[in-house]
Amino acid sequence: KSKGLKDYYNNYFPIGVAVTPNDIRGNEKSLILEHFNSITAENAMKMGPLQPGENKYFWSNADSIVEFGVKNKLKVRGHCLVWHTQTPRWLFKDSAGKTISKEVLLTRIKNHINTVVPRYKGKIYAWDVVNEVIADDTSYFRKSPLYNIAGEDFVEQAFRYAHAADPKAILFYNDYNTETPAKRDKIFKMLKGLLAKGVPIHGVGLQAHWSINNPSREELEKSIEMFSSLGLQIQFTELDISVYTGRQGGQLIAGEKAKEPAVFTPEMEQKQLEKYKMIFDVFRKHKKHITGVTFWNLSDKYTWLDGRGRKNFPLLFDTELKPKKAYYEVIKF
């Protein structure tokens, strides 16, 4: 049997990938099993897909991903219990269509956690409990419906509910742009405050939606040093390296036209492999603090970054599921 990515990193950390229910059945299945020893559901465990109506759960996608993981002895990460995106329509309203109170919202969050977490006890080893609550602008918390109704309390409570529901699960706060100093400082401040209150948080998920220009080695190392100084374990939970630059890895906004044609140029290939080489070098150096690195999608055949009108090429495997040059840089050490 040929060596896969996970085997090269055996002495470092598990290597994960975000999967869809189709990936674990189709042609992608053998590539997943060759290279990865951890999986995350790309969408199937978010609240909207999982609890589309109050107390009406849709389990089959999430169950199939967990069963695939268990059957193949992969680690399974749970993603995610509380997030302002992909929330079900019913979550913030009562039956008369009125916005609910803080108390009701916390109860609904608690019920969700108490239903989902125990179902996968012993199968899902780590949960992204709270996702992306820190603002990208100058404010502290993101002004989401969750925050507008419940203030910052929902963050603390979600961790407490999750810990009670599965005391053995490793609980993560997960966010992006964590190498941007201003946002990193706010995340650090929030986590430090919660830990000081004894809130059960065990790790920080640094999403790692990066680009050929970002992050620098210095900022990446700074993030690892800062968050590990809190005694938290670190996982890179959603790694990809966009070949475009600018806002959000060069994603287009509605109505905007792509300036570049959607081809993977030799220049992109070169810059991307250098970035992948650098970040894995940093990951290995800090292996003491890093307990997982997960890619957000498997290959360039399908990536969430393709959305908004332009093909992207952010992963280690190409559109035909073959290893790219960057792959060989990542396993060369």
Among 82, 42, 88, which residue's Cα sits nearest to residue 62? 42
Least distance in angstroms from the C-beta of 131 to ligand G3I: 6
Among 175, 264, 263, 295, which residue's Cα sits nearest to residue 223? 175
Least distance in angstroms from the C-beta of 43 to ligand G3I: 5
- C-alpha 57/C-alpha 50 separation (Å) is 6
Contacts of 44 by beta carbon, 8 Å cutoff, 6+ apart:
20, 21, 50, 61, 62, 65
| Residue found by looking up tokens 């609904």 in the block | 108
Of 8 and 92, CB closest to ligand G3I:
92
Of 12 and 211, CB closest to ligand G3I:
211
Least distance in angstroms from the C-beta of 41 to ligand G3I: 9
Of 52 and 181, CB closest to ligand G3I:
52
Q: Angle, nearest 10°, between helix axes 266-285 and 217-228? A: 30
**Could you give the residue numbers annotated as active site?**
238
- C-alpha 314/C-alpha 304 separation (Å) is 10
Burial of 43 (0-12, 13-18, 19+ CB in 10 A): middle
Least distance in angstroms from the C-beta of 85 to ligand G3I: 4
- DSSP 8-state secondary structure symbol assigned to residue 256: P
Which residue's C-beta sits nearest to ligand G3I?
A: 304
Q: What tokens were used for 259?
A: 């300036």
Question: Over the Cα atoms of the chain, what is R_g?
Answer: 19
Of 12 and 38, CB closest to ligand G3I:
38
CB 187 within 8 A of CB 173: yes
Least distance in angstroms from the C-beta of 185 to ligand G3I: 20
What is the contact surface with ligand G3I in residues (CB under 6 A)?
42-43, 85-86, 131, 207, 238, 304
Of 104 and 252, CB closest to ligand G3I:
252
